[in-house]
Amino acid sequence: MKYKSTLGGIEPVPFDQAILEGFAADGGLFVPETIPRFSPRELQNMATMEYLELAETILKKFIDPEIIPADDLRELLNNSFAGFESNEIIPVVRFGSSNLFIQELFHGPTLSFKDIAMGFLINCMDYFLARKNEKLSLILATTGDTGPAAAWAAAGKDTLECWPLYPKGMISEEQERQMTTLEADNVHPVGVTGCKNGGDDLDVVVANLFGDGQLKKELKLSSVNSINWCRVMVQTIHYFHGYFKVAEDVGEEVVFSVPAGAFGNLCAGFIARSMGLPVKKFVCATNDNGTLYRVFEKGYLSQEELITTCSSAIDILVPYNFWRFLYFNCAGDTELLNDFIKEFNEHGLLRFPADLWKQFRTGFVSTTISDEETLATIATVYAQDAYLLDPHGAVAVAAAWNCQDSWSQQDKVVCLATAHPAKFPDVIGQVFHRIPGLKLTTTHPSIEAARNRFHHLRTCSYDVLEPALVRAIRTRL
């Protein structure tokens, strides 16, 4: 299997190159030459597999054994998920006795769904770099969960210097501590003040650095942001896993409700469905920054002002992985995709042709969930089922409730809970203020442990970030 660019400007490259480069050299995103497909019989065989075996079966379709031999792949997978606190890795719990299920994607070391793909991505990078005796600088912009996941996975690896950039004051204190208290001398968190558009501002700086070919080479830059193909690929696995946990018969169609930010997780869902997974609908659950809602329900992509919400990990303006999804929906027409991206970059607005819009709506519905609804959902679910959702999982559940007319009552609905509530104690606090007499604190041992350590970080204001970062990266090479 080789990997092409969504912009069509490069010769196909092997998996290791696609992963190490992050972005393709023409600025596009890597995509597999073809999407592999499982036969109904293969799916039947996969139905009883536990997560790691399932992962191996799926990843073998994307990674040739000459690039990672089977034994090494197994070892990489085992190591990548060893830090998960649940034996099941990604447990699925039933929501009361209804057809609503919660797939818990937050049992990794930094308690968010970013851990799921990040560990494997970084272990793969380390594996390939060690083989070539090379080193890379990872820079990444984070809205609060990517940074910690990358920092944890990269900590102590000689092949990597890790630079997580985050909008200071716009992520939770708990998330910040997960990066700044690591005590690993190859991890360098940077808190950036004055980011009007939050993490999207930081993406601009990252894109600038990557756009300068010379600098990219000199600084040995690579990215583990959600555009990295490896993350999307690994995220396909949990759809299969969740499906097999809830479906009674292979072939039954299941609904997935997913809190969407950069659209990586949903793009993975789309790919899982293209591989043969029977999915009835995807609910693209957004908060008041309804970029993806406008895409699916109104037929246009537009850049608007950022709204700060209580589901901060999905406060994203430009859902980068949407280009990947669009590429597949245009049947790989790279010229058309180039035109679309150009139009969007010039006007901040892109209206989709009616037939294309209709096509990518197939099997997708979308809704926006306000903070008020998010908080009310956390309260309702806790009152009914004694289950504490984090704000992102709550967005998924609320969206599934809003959209339930799009499927029938018998259909099973899997809501993806993407973070542990202990990462967002202020939000949870707001919920429990509303219910007199009810007291609830949410915590996790790893969050508590981080409170008693020094912060190690760099800070700067947004306007000097680029030169300051270039300078600092040079000193570490």
Ligand X SMILES: *Cc1c(COP(=O)(O)O)cnc(C)c1O
Q: Which residues are part of the catalytic machinery?
A: 114
114 binds ligand X (CB under 6 A): yes
Among 6, 99, 181, 226, binds ligand X (CB under 6 A): 226
Instruction: Select the residue interacting with ligand X from 19, 20, 29, 260 (CB under 6 A).
Output: 260
Binding flag, residue 420, ligand X (CB under 6 A): no
Q: Least distance to ligand X from the beta carbon of 107, Å?
A: 13
Q: What span, in angstroms and rounded, lies between the C-alpha atoms of 129 and 134?
A: 5
Q: CB of 142: closest distance to ligand X in angstroms?
A: 9
The only residue of 22, 108, 109, 264 in contact with ligand X, by rule CB under 6 A: 264
- Supply the DSSP symbol for 464: G
261 belongs to the binding site for ligand X (CB under 6 A): yes
If binding is defined by CB under 6 A, does position 325 make contact with ligand X? Answer: no
Q: Are 221 and 214 in contact (CB under 8 A)?
A: no
Residue 309 interacts with ligand X (CB under 6 A)? no
259: contact with ligand X by CB under 6 A? yes
Name the one range near ligand X by CB under 6 A: 153-161, 253-261, 377-385, 444-452: 253-261
Is 113 a binding residue for ligand X by CB under 6 A? The answer is: yes
Q: What does the DSSP assignment read for 264-325?
A: HHHHHHHHHHHTT--EEEEEEEE-SS-HHHIIIIISEEE-------SSGGG--SS-TTHHHH
Smallest gap from Cβ 226 to ligand X, in A, equals 5
* DSSP per-residue codes, 434-462: TSTT-------HHHHHHTTS----EEEEG
Contact between 112 and ligand X per CB under 6 A = yes
Residue count, binding to ligand X (CB under 6 A)? 17
Shortest distance (Å) from residue 417 CB to ligand X: 9
Q: What is the DSSP string of 349-362?
A: EEEPPHHHHHHHHT
145 binds ligand X (CB under 6 A): yes
DSSP code at position 66: T
Residues within window 380-399 making contact with ligand X, judged by CB under 6 A: 392
Distance CA 161, CA 138 (A): 6
Rounded to an integer, what distance in angstroms lies between the CA atom of residue 367 and that of residue 285? 6
Residue 393 Cβ vs ligand X, minimum distance, rounded to whole Å:
8
Give 301: exposed, middle or buried? Use CB within 10 Å, 0-12, 13-18, 19+. buried
Query: What one-letter code names the amino acid at 52?
Result: L
For binding to ligand X (CB under 6 A), which residues are involved?
112-114, 145, 226, 259-265, 313-314, 392, 418-419
